[in-house]
Every structure is written in C-alpha cells, then in structure tokens.
A and B are shown apart, each in its own frame.
Chain A
C-alpha cells in the first residue's frame, strides 16, 4: 500500500496551508504598517500630507496585497486538488459500484444491529438504538438472553467465578450432553484460587465436595490438581506453575461463551460481524469485476448468481459444496456427487454422459482406471 505517497501528498497540502496562513498574516501586517504611516502623517498635519497620502495609496496599490495572496492561494489550490486525485488512484473511489439497487428493509437491519450490540454487551447503546429507531423492540429479547452472560464475564474479569459456577451448575446436564468439561474447568480455577490464597484445608474441602462427580471421566486431571496441594505455599515454583497462567482463564472464558451461546441456540460469533467480514473480503473481487464489465451493469442488477467466484477464508465455509470437475456444475439432489472405484468424485450427470447412460464402461478422466457404472457410489457430505 502506497501510504508514503499519500502522506507526502497530504503534507504538501499542510505545508501550503501554513504558507498561505503566514502570507495572509504578512499582508495584513503590511497594510497595518502603511496605514500607521498614514496616520502619523495626518497627525503631523504638514501641508503636503495630502500628496504623501496619495503616494502611500499608490504604493499600496503597487504592493497589491490581493495579488500577493493569489500566488500562495494558487499553490495551495494545486495541492488541494492533487491529494484527492492521489486518493482516487491508490484507493477505490467508489465501492458502491458493486451495490445492487435493492433497498434493505431498515427495520430488519436495525434489529440485526441492536441484537449485535446486545450480544457484544453494549447494552446501553442497544437501548439507545431502540429508542431512536422505530420497530426494533423485538431485539430487546436478545438483551435478556445476553445480560446473564455479560454479568458472568464481567465477574470473571475481576476473578470472581461465582456467577459462572452458578450458571454451570444449573446447566450441568446440558453441558455434559454436549461433551463439555466446562463445569470441571470452572471448579478447577476456583480450587486454584482458594489454594493461592493459602488455605490448603479449604482447598481440600472444596475439592472433596466438588470434584467427586467428575472423578469417573477426568481422573488424571483431578490427580494433578491434588498434587498442587503439596505446594500450596509455593505454587509458582512448583511443577504445576503452568496451571496458574492467566491464559487458562482466557480459554475458560472462551469455552463458557461458546457453551452459553450454544445452549441459547445462538452462534458464537456475532452474525453481523461474520457477514460484514465476508463482505470486506468479497468486495475487492466484485469491484474488479465491475470495472472489467463496466458495460454490463444492467446484468449485474438482475443476475441470480454472482458473476465471479469469490474465495472466502475458511472461517466462512459453513456448507459442503461439491463442484463437478468435469461439468463445473454444483451438485444438486438430482445430480449428486458419485465416487468412482478409483476414489475420484464426479457428479452423476457427467458419469451418465461418459458411460452413455451406463451402456458402456469408460475411463476415469483423472487416472487411467476403467470404470463400470455399477461400481459408482453416491456420496453424502
């Protein structure tokens, strides 16, 4: 990215602005000087002051303050017109070229945004939006759902696990169903916290009451924790020092957020963040396409499928999409992917074509194996 050229171009503007400012100042000073002279002359009231005044007037006209300003102004104007041109050259001047003239229902968009604010714990801002925009009250249900999560997280930030443990205990069955060890991990942190305070007996007591129900599946982990008891006063120098790392808190926080969202039936990432991030990735190729196909703007407004393939990062891949390497078509229920006996996969229509509807055997287009239609299997991704 050519930031330096942009910066240079901008600094030229700033420099010329300074020059212009000091020049205007100077010109004003100059006139003040001349007028002061005139005042003195008038006050001295010599006889010839009239003619002297005329001289001064002439001089002032010769100096022509306005034309002096003109010069610096011209240079400033050049700098002012160059910078936007540099911007247009380095950056994409109009990203709305990739926009289809489809008006979004602003109520739906507002609801999405309000939900986003609540998810992120920006409750006050969400409330503010609901007050300012119309018909977004429905988003307020999100607020109730996520308030508990953010109370838990807020408490965890100040090393308080009580709300988290309370929530985990209330949902322990569901957590177990999901195969999550979150509940134990929370107890684990709490146990270490008590131990660090220096009360070994209390820690032991805590372990007895809380670890028993996890003993069946997590014995090794619990044994390690019990080992910590031996080092209660010098845990930092012990073989268990790594257990004290604050990254453990971060991972548990993330786990908790994931499980919380999961139990609510919500995604872990804010869907708005995901959609916008995907948009940022897909705009450059779309805009490139629009410049190449400048004449076909009309088609863009009506097309049922994007004209160019867009490679999104893998965090945006939510569905299996099979594209037949022969026909380049996406598979459908009527045209499913089929695996040949050699392990290569084509879609059904392509196989039918090559085998003349099963009437003859054919060679795999990717390896020299001979294929019989009966040996092909449909795949489910």
Chain B
C-alpha cells in the first residue's frame, strides 16, 4: 500500500485535501467491488488448474490405449487363424466354411466392440472439452459463482482422496458439477483400496498389470511391495513351503534391483511371525497394509497427473500462511479472520507467518483498509482511525470525536493526518 508518497508540508495544510478525498472514497468504494479481482490475478489462478484438465485426459488416453490393444489382438488373431485354415490340408470343405464363418462373426464382434469403445471415448473427450470450456467461462460478473464451484471441486477432490465417496457424490450431484469432478476415475481406486483394506492384494496386482508399462517407466516398486506382503502373509500362516515357492516365482525377478529388501523378507522364514526382533517384527505389523494403501494412492495420483496432496491441503496451507500474522493469535482478533478460530489456528500452528513489505492499516471502527482515499488520522492520544469513520462520527456528534478504545473526547479539528509509506 502506498499512501501519499511525498506530501510536502505538515499536517496543517491537509484539512482542505480531506474534503476532496472523502468524496472520492464514495465513488471508488462502489467501483472497487466490481474490480476486486484483476485480470492478471485471474489468469494466474487458472494456471493452478492443471489437474483439472489433466485427469480426464489421462482417463481418455487410457481408454483409447486399451481399446486399441483389444482391436490389435483380435485382428492379428483372426489373420493368423485365417492362415491356419488355408494351410491345413485335412480340412473338409464344410469345416473350412464353418471356421471361416466363425472368423467373420468374430470380426463382427470386434466391430461392435469398436463402436462401443468409440462411444466411451467420445464421452470422455467431451468431458475434456467441458473442462476447457469451464476454465474459459470465468467472467468478472459471475466470478463469485465460479469461485464457489471451484471450492466445491476442491472439496470433492478432498472427499475422494479421503475415501468419503458418499459425501463426494452427494456434493457433486446437489451442485450439478459431476462433469467437473473425477468421481468415475476414483471408482477404479476404490476397488483396489477396499481390497487392500481387507488384506487382499488381488485387485491391486491386476491394476499393476493393467498399468505395467507406465509403472515401469516411473520405476515403481509398488508391485514388489505387494508381492512382499503376500509372502509375509504366507509366512504368518506358517505355510513355509508355499512361501518359498512364491518367493522363487514372484520375488526373485526383483532381486537384481531390490536385493536388500528381498533378503530381509526372506529372513522371516527363520524368524517367524512371532519374532521380537524389531527389524522383522515390523514386517508383520498390520499397519503395513495401511502403508500399501498410501503407496497405492501415490502411484494412482501419479498416473493420472494429480497432485500428491489433496488440492484442499495445498490451498489451505498457502492461504493460512498468507493470512497468518502475529495479531491473529490475539484475543481481540476479528471473527472475520479464519485464524480467529481454534480449528484454523491449530492447522496454521506449524506454518510460517506472512511477510509484509508495505504497511497495511485496517481501521478499527469500519474494518476498512486505510489508504490514499481513506487516509489514517491520529487522535491526540495517538490512536489512529480512518478519515471515513471519524468524519461520520463528527457529523453525527457536532464535530466531537470519541475514541472507542479509550473514551477520550476531542474535536475533529484536533486530528492530525499520518503519512504511512
């Protein structure tokens, strides 16, 4: 905030200028509400929406890839069986016709599948477009409505990540924003997470197989961790022979890259599940399953281009830091400040304070910012209020001012303007 960068002269010269500033205040106050968000700030805020556009696209890409794979498989299967039919000599005419007709119906099946796949792809592509349009639809006039939707989107993202699916669904439906949130994508995660919570690695392994190439690219160890857990469960069940066979089949391939973990786990064959040795005891802790759930979430977020933390946490952290001042924790903190509330104070405790390069003065009476248009004035006792508030008080009380914090009474003419830069 800049107030009167270079006022020449002392306080006495300013009584005339206050008259003009006051009339100005009235007009700017009205226009300010419309301009409260400037265009560059809006653009900057839209740049935070990467996840919003990325997730539906990754979803579409996945569908396209999967559909293509099935098409490829079918076509090559048909071509090779066609060759088989033509090559086989012992086939009677009728048999040849029969197997050729079956190939045709197989291709008809493929075409049906293609159509079906195309429909899903189109729907998902439409979702990508809706999101692009939604970002473009920000309009200064309806900004508050748009911002409200954004908050709801952020909340739905949080609910989905916390597995509060019902709340997420209800919120999305009641606000009519289903196209703008990723409930469908999270259905895929829900299956895996539910199974892991029931100590079943099946769906998680299937998910790994589904996304094999991408997981490999990001050097993910998730599948290995699932395998380790399955091995541990066999040891826990004292099924040692099967555990060894399992290890040979599923763990050995990881030996080249993860020998240490492999060795550690193999040692449990000797220590057994009731071991007190901390290094191995931890492997039998049921919390390992929670760890797998967390691990899965991170892999899942990564594949879909989501942030590793819920959007809510990221925004809340940045917002609370920017709002946090030493004054927030005082008893007379205004209740409009979120940090006047215990819950928000708790969250903000470990966060840094905001940094200020310029003074920002808020009038104690009107709670409005004091700036060039509404400059601060000093009472004889050193207390400072905005011109607007003091002027209003003087008009109501025949030019008398009463300090609301000390009770001091003085004349409007005794006030002195303060210059803050």
Contacts and interface: CB of A to CB of B under 8 A. Distances in A.
Nearest to B100: A39
A224 interface: no
Nearest to B163: A132
**A contact patch SS:** helix
Interface in A14-56: 14, 17, 20-21, 24-25, 27-29, 31-32, 34-36, 38-39, 42-43, 45, 53-54, 56
Interface string A129-167: 101110000000000000000000000000000000000
A186 to B, nearest CB: 24
Contacts of B367: 318
A92 B10 contact: no
A95 B314 contact: yes
Given A132-B166, A272-B338, A317 B360 contact: yes
B36 interface: yes
Interface string B73-87: 001101100110111
B353 A305 contact: yes
A128 B335 contact: no
Contact of A310 (B37, B53, B347, B355): B355
A372 interface: no
Contacts of B249: none
A331 to B, nearest CB: 9
B139 to A, nearest CB: 13
Contacts of B313: 99, 104, 109
A314 B167 contact: no
A171 interface: no
A226 interface: no
Interface in B344-370: 344, 346-347, 350-362, 364, 367-369
B104 A36 contact: yes
Interface string B98-109: 001101100110
B45 to A, nearest CB: 5
B149 interface: no
Contacts of B360: 317, 319-321
Contacts of A327: none
Contacts of B164: 129, 132-133
Contacts of B37: 313
Interface in A77-102: 80, 83-84, 87-88, 90-96, 98-100, 102
Interface in B297-329: 305, 307-309, 311-323, 325-328
A250 B36 CA distance: 21
B307 to A, nearest CB: 4
Interface stretch (A193-201, A227-235, A236-244, A335-343): A335-343
Nearest to B348: A275
A330 B357 CA distance: 8
Given A65-B75, A129-B164, A269 B336 contact: yes
B214 interface: no
B7 interface: yes
A35 B96 CA distance: 11
A375 to B, nearest CB: 11
Contacts of B333: 318-319
A344 interface: yes
Interface stretch (A210-218, A260-268, A355-363): A260-268
Nearest to A271: B338
Contact of B312 (A109, A281, A303): A109
A321 B50 contact: no
A29 B107 CA distance: 8
Contacts of B117: 21
B47 interface: yes
B104 A28 contact: no
Given A279-B316, A341-B10, A378-B382, A69 B75 contact: yes
B171 interface: yes
Nearest to B321: A306
Given A278-B319, A381-B361, A284 B86 contact: no
Interface in B382-421: 382-384, 405, 416-421
B356 to A, nearest CB: 5
Contact of A323 (B61, B358, B418): B358
B323 to A, nearest CB: 5
B176 interface: no
B309 A96 contact: yes
Contact of B355 (A42, A274, A306): A306
Given A14-B125, A28-B110, A343-B417, A65 B79 contact: yes
B68 interface: yes
A34 B313 CA distance: 60
A99 B347 contact: no
Given A38-B86, A96-B314, A321-B359, A6 B336 contact: no
A321 B405 CA distance: 18
A275 B338 contact: yes
Most chain A beta-carbon contacts within 10 A, residue among B135, B165, B315, B362: B315
Nearest to B345: A108
Contact of B318 (A105, A279, A342, A367): A279
Contacts of A83: 57
Contact of A279 (B319, B346, B418): B319
B78 to A, nearest CB: 6
B111 interface: yes
Contact of B418 (A21, A317, A339): A339
B259 interface: no
A213 B367 CA distance: 31
Given A100-B317, A276-B319, A3 B383 contact: no
Nearest to A124: B170
A37 B158 CA distance: 59
B318 A98 contact: yes
B46 interface: yes
A279 B314 contact: yes
Contact of A277 (B50, B93, B162, B319): B319
Contact of A377 (B125, B327, B382): B382
A28 B46 CA distance: 44
B87 to A, nearest CB: 8
B10 A369 contact: yes
Interface in A50-64: 53-54, 56-57, 60-61
26 contacts: A3-B135, A20-B64, A35-B100, A99-B313, A128-B166, A128-B170, A132-B164, A272-B338, A273-B151, A275-B323, A279-B320, A280-B48, A280-B315, A280-B319, A281-B41, A281-B319, A303-B352, A304-B353, A308-B355, A310-B355, A317-B369, A318-B362, A319-B362, A322-B420, A342-B11, A381-B361
Given A17-B121, A69-B71, A320-B360, 10 more contacts: A38-B82, A61-B83, A84-B58, A92-B47, A276-B312, A306-B355, A318-B336, A321-B325, A344-B418, A380-B382
